[in-house]
């Protein structure tokens, strides 16, 4: 269980690395931590500095960044705003930062932690230290790891606005692009993967669905709630694990393209063959970062192209 951060002058520094339990306490204390972060960051949001007027709307760009066995996605909206979803494992932080800088990223307008596993947040502290961010969204599920604890403490120390990712919440980055959370529907508990934030992104006729590491149980919940799942591009859950991407879920999403983050020769066997078969039966063209490297999606709102680093662009009109 997590507990509320102690005052700065009382913090144990590196003691946690020496075997001291970094977060002890009750669910109540975890709730107090979230209340403190959410409440104080709501006040801080009003202090966000304005940015220069962006160029005229043009294209949506989505970078699926190869960070080995982990997730990292950069969305650039037509009006120039940038959203980072996850930041890969800690050993890939330098590669991720190099890629962001090569794209000219000097500020992030929002950061989304899909869930607090190290292969999704391991590089985030390095990113936030190097590149200022306006706000962080997080499902807020208790997860007692030093990596997550240090990240929350850094957010607290630097007065970074912090919001809970909840169903129905919209990210108002660009009036031309709808970004809405479909999950979690309430206070997350239990399995950390199933607490993953699910984000629907829609730009005119083009749609994308980001699913974190949710499993088949959450997929069934999304189906039962009648969520708007149909999307042109699916970020496949949990690196293509057999515990996700059920046939019923894929039928509802009906993606033209599916993107799987997985490291080459990873010890989990991701992506699993049965998931690749289900995606093929669903009619999706599948890209895997272990094979295709970093991917770039570009769309004018009617057509989209998905360009792997080492293959020709795949282009299609949106169906929806």
Residue range(s) defining the domain that contains residue 303: 22-46+57-317
pLDDT in tens, 88-119: 999 999 999 999 999 999 999 999 999 999 99
Whether residue 257 lies inside any domain: the answer is: yes
Whether residue 9 lies inside any domain: the answer is: no
Q: What average pLDDT score do residues 166-187 get?
A: 97
Whether residue 4 lies inside any domain: the answer is: no
Whether residue 13 lies inside any domain: the answer is: no
CA distance 151 to 108: 16
Confidence (pLDDT) at 16: 32
Instruction: Considering only the C-alpha atoms of the chain, give the largest distance between any 2 of them, rounded to a whole number of Å.
Output: 58
Whether residue 15 lies inside any domain: the answer is: no
CA distance 61 to 31: 36
Whether residue 98 lies inside any domain: the answer is: yes
Above 90 in pLDDT, residue 30? no
* CATH label of the domain that carries residue 137: 3.60.15.10
How wide is the angle at C-alpha 40 spanned by C-alphas 88 and 156, nearest 5°? 40
Confidence (pLDDT) at 291: 94
Q: What average pLDDT score do residues 4-19 get?
A: 34
Q: Is 188:213 a contact under the CB 8 Å cutoff?
A: no
Q: Domain tally for the chain?
A: 1
Whether residue 52 lies inside any domain: the answer is: no
Is residue 55 very low, low, confident or very high in pLDDT (cuts 50, 70, 90)? very low
CA distance 293 to 99: 12
Whether residue 217 lies inside any domain: the answer is: yes
Above 90 in pLDDT, residue 161? yes
Confidence (pLDDT) at 189: 86
Q: What average pLDDT score do residues 207-217 get?
A: 97
For the entire predicted model, the pTM comes to 0.83
Q: What average pLDDT score do residues 171-182 get?
A: 98
Above 80 in pLDDT, residue 156? yes
Could you tell me which residues come within 8 angstroms of residue 318 by beta carbon, excluding any fewer than 6 positions away? 204, 205, 206, 207, 232, 299, 301, 302, 303, 304
């Amino acid at each position: 269980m997590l507990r509320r951060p102690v005052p700065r002058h009382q913090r144990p520094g590196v003691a946690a690395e020496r075997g001291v339990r970094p977060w002890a306490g009750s669910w109540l204390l975890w709730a107090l931590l979230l209340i403190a972060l959410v409440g104080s960051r709501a006040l801080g949001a009003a202090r966000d500095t304005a940015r220069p007027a962006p160029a005229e709307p043009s294209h949506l760009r989505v970078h699926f960044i190869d960070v080995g066995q982990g997730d990292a996605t950069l969305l650039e909206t037509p009006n120039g705003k940038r959203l980072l979803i996850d930041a890969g494992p800690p050993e890939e932080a330098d590669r991720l930062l190099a890629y962001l800088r090569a794209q000219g990223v000097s500020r992030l307008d929002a950061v989304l932690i899909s869930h607090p596993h190290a292969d999704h947040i391991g590089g985030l502290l390095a990113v936030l230290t190097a590149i200022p961010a306006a706000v962080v969204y997080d499902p807020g599920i208790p997860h007692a790891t030093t990596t997550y604890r240090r990240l929350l403490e850094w957010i607290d120390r630097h007065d970074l606005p912090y919001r809970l990712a909840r169903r129905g919440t919209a990210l108002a980055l660009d009036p031309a692009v709808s970004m809405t959370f479909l999950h979690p529907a309430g206070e997350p508990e239990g399995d950390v993967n199933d607490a993953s934030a699910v984000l629907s992104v829609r730009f005119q006729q083009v749609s994308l669905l980001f699913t974190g590491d949710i499993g088949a149980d959450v997929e069934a919940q999304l189906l039962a709630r009648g969520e708007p799942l149909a999307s042109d591009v699916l970020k496949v859950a949990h690196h293509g694990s057999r515990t996700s991407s059920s046939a019923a879920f894929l039928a509802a999403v009906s993606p033209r393209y599916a993107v799987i983050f997985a490291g080459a020769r990873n010890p989990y066997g991701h992506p699993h063959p049965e998931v690749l078969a289900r995606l093929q039966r669903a009619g999706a063209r599948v890209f895997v970062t272990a094979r295709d490297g970093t991917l770039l999606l570009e769309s004018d709102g009617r057509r989209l192209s998905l360009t792997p680093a080492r293959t020709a662009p795949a282009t299609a009109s949106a169906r929806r």
